Structure 1
Amino acid sequence: MKLLYPILKFSVVTLVAFGFYCPANLQAQQEAQYSQYMVNYFTLNPGVAGTGENTEIKVGLRSQWAGFEGAPKTGYFTIQGALNRVNSSDITKHKSKKYVKQFNPHGYHSLGGYIYHDATGPISRSALYGAYAYNIALANSLRASLGAYVGLKQFRVDGSRLQFFDPNDPLQAGQSEIVPDASLGLWMYSNKFYLGASIHQVMGNSLDVFNNAEGGDALQRHYFFTAGVNVRLSNEWYWVPSVLVRMVNPVPTSFDINSKIKFKDLLWGAASYRKDDAVILMAGFTLNGNIDVSYSYDITNSAIQSYSRGTHEIVVGLRLKNRPKTHNPSDFW
């Protein structure tokens, strides 16, 4: 049956705000959304695995639309790094400047893992993925990495948080379904720019969590396109403007425009505009060269701005050294 029949235990305003989470539009909202993807592009693109100097562990927590009962809440854990990148003595040196521009001309393998849980009212989704990427040099200062996530995704409805016209409705006991899932991603980068393209839910499996007599809902493919440039303002300051485009049927194409200012590898601040949704302010810092902490606040500018107290997100990361003096241009982002 369609989830339209149960009555959510929310206010009318909340129902309007969460209307797009109902099954009629479920296929449009099957992927978790993050504001701080700039500090962890691996959540968008498996090709990012191993492109940095370090093995990176990151944990993110997001509370969307504060003030609404049952508002979206998301948590994730990622780990990714290179397996066999060579030492700096084997890296071809192209230019001698303060900021090292050294590249491994040989290909190398990377592995990673990605776990997330996202809940909106009675509807939740969880995923567990392993990731693999292969990284090659295209030119002296240009590399490309092709990667994939492969794993399982679970969708669940908590019947205890719903009310029903039919007291015998089997959905009261709750429903869940697990399906295999995969994503593909390509990441091209140097120390001056990056380009990325990824496809999530490439398998297009269908699921029927709601016992719909008309058949299940398909997992729609989500397309993400990213691009950014690294502008050196001085020996210590960098400006990184970037853009993210999201495409998924049947939702209109959306995009983010981002502007990030970075001081060495110590502090950064950024602002982002998400089309028809929010203005986002964020900042972060690095401790001891291996602990990253960042926070963002979304100022909602959609129809629910009068009711929402914004969205909060925090990301904490740990950098584990792969090998000493091994450099990669991705670290400049």
Structure 2
Amino acid sequence: MKKIKYIKKALLVIALLAGFSAAAQQDQMFTQYMFNKLVLNPAYAGSREIFTVDLLNRYQWVGIDGAPRIITLSGHTLLKNSNVGLGAYLYRDEIGPTINQGAMGTYSYRIQTQQGWFSFGIQFGVKYFTFDWNAIDTEYPDAVFSPEDVQRLSPDMNLGVYYQTKRFYAGLSSKQLLENEYGSGKVDGKNTFTKLSRHYYAMLGMAIPIDEKIVFRPSALTKVVGNVRPQVDLNASFLFGDTFWVGLSFRTQRTVAFLTEFRITEYLRLGYSFDLMMNDLQLHNKGTHEFRLGFDIATAKRMKTPRYF
């Protein structure tokens, strides 16, 4: 038992170091990204043409103490003139002794094309980062080692473009444009700091009718961060009767995921995904679970159906 406990702690430390050095954990990662696009691309605001709210809770690497947990709450709508979309999202990202949370407001402007809409979007808000050394449970505490906790409030800005038709979408976005410093300290008498790294995203997807009740919906998401190897997420899914959705995803970090969504009512959607890592970490956790609730709030303008994106 002690050996397993030490292995879990070692894996957590490795994950923490990887998150800081490679910036891989600075921005949230979602398996159900195709239903949560506002947190990746501000130009998506208003694209559903109805007031939409999404609540997502992600439990990563269940069974490892201090493993990441991410909660996001987002909402967006289209204004009456059909050209302006507004939105906002809140998030809280925990991993071990670190907590990264913030709020972002969103504005998008849409231009109608012959086939669909092309939109530009901007997000602006604040991030609040904390690192609590007391949250690290050590069996043999070091009385000499007593570093100060890190607390840092910094502004943040994201930009994006997005194009959508009835059966196709594509988008490009960049997050954490300001690259603000969010952690600092002294190592061997020298000042050190950690900066927010810019993240670049490219996404696309389409809806291909198989027959009157079945639609094939492939999609892809690519994330690029500095010198880190790009992360690619490929998804293949099927929609049955505009009610039940099921699919599989493959991520380049040797991760396979199962996804499903069920439309409970015209305005309420329930989603779930399960990630399984195909590497040594699989032996020490029970996978990653992601739960999502989507609300399409009725307005004077009824939602167009079917709504594939």
Provide TM-score, normalisation by structure 1: 0.84
Q: Please state if 1:16 is matched with 2:5.
A: no
Q: Please state if 1:187 is matched with 2:162.
A: yes
The partner residue of 2:175 within 181, 192, 200 is 200
Q: Aligned residue for 1:332?
A: 308
Q: Partners in 2 of 1:79 and 1:269 — Cα distance?
A: 24
The partner residue of 1:110 within 55, 75, 85 is 85
1:62-116 Cα offsets, whole Å, 9 max, x none, are 1100110111111110010111245xxxxxxxxxxxxxxxxxxxxx111111110
Is the 8 Å Cα contact of residues 53 and 321 (structure 1) preserved in structure 2?
no
Q: Tell me the secondary structure at the aligned position of residue 186 of structure 1.
A: strand
Is the 8 Å Cα contact of residues 155 and 209 (structure 1) preserved in structure 2?
no
Q: Please state if 1:124 is matched with 2:119.
A: no
Offset of residue 267 of structure 1: 0.9
Q: Aligned residue for 1:5?
A: none
The partner residue of 2:240 within 263, 287, 294 is 263
Q: Aligned residue for 1:32?
A: 28
The partner residue of 1:149 within 117, 123, 126 is 123
1:24-63 Cα offsets, whole Å, 9 max, x none, are 5163320111111111211211111000031111111111
Check 1:287–1:13 CA distance in 2 against 1; reply closer, same or farther (3 A cut). closer
- Give unpaired runs (5+ residues) of structure 1: 1-9, 87-107
Q: What CA RMSD, in Å, does the superposition of the two structures yield over aligned residues?
A: 2.0
Q: Partners in 1 of 2:67 and 2:39 — Cα distance?
A: 21
Report the identity percentage: 26
Is the 8 Å Cα contact of residues 176 and 209 (structure 1) preserved in structure 2?
no
Is the 8 Å Cα contact of residues 291 and 317 (structure 1) preserved in structure 2?
yes
Q: Please state if 1:250 is matched with 2:209.
A: no
Q: Aligned residue for 1:228?
A: 205
Is the 8 Å Cα contact of residues 82 and 322 (structure 1) preserved in structure 2?
no
Matches within 5 A, 1:37-186: 37-85=33-81, 108-137=83-112, 139-162=113-136, 165-167=142-144, 169-171=146-148, 174-186=149-161
Question: How many positions carry a matched residue from both structures?
Answer: 299
Counterpart of 1:54, as a letter, is I
Counterpart of 1:121, as a letter, is G
Offset of residue 16 of structure 1: 2.9
Offset of residue 248 of structure 1: 0.3
Check 1:217–1:328 CA distance in 2 against 1; reply closer, same or farther (3 A cut). farther
Counterpart of 1:320, as a letter, is I
Q: Partners in 1 of 2:252 and 2:232 — Cα distance?
A: 6
Q: Tell me the secondary structure at the aligned position of residue 28 of structure 1.
A: coil
Offset of residue 327 of structure 1: 4.0
Check 1:85–1:239 CA distance in 2 against 1; reply closer, same or farther (3 A cut). farther
Q: Which has the higher contact order (CA 8 A, sep 6+)?
A: 1
Q: Tell me the secondary structure at the aligned position of residue 77 of structure 1.
A: strand
Is the 8 Å Cα contact of residues 300 and 308 (structure 1) preserved in structure 2?
no
Provide TM-score, normalisation by structure 2: 0.90
Q: Partners in 1 of 2:23 and 2:47 — Cα distance?
A: 31
Is the 8 Å Cα contact of residues 87 and 106 (structure 2) preserved in structure 1?
yes
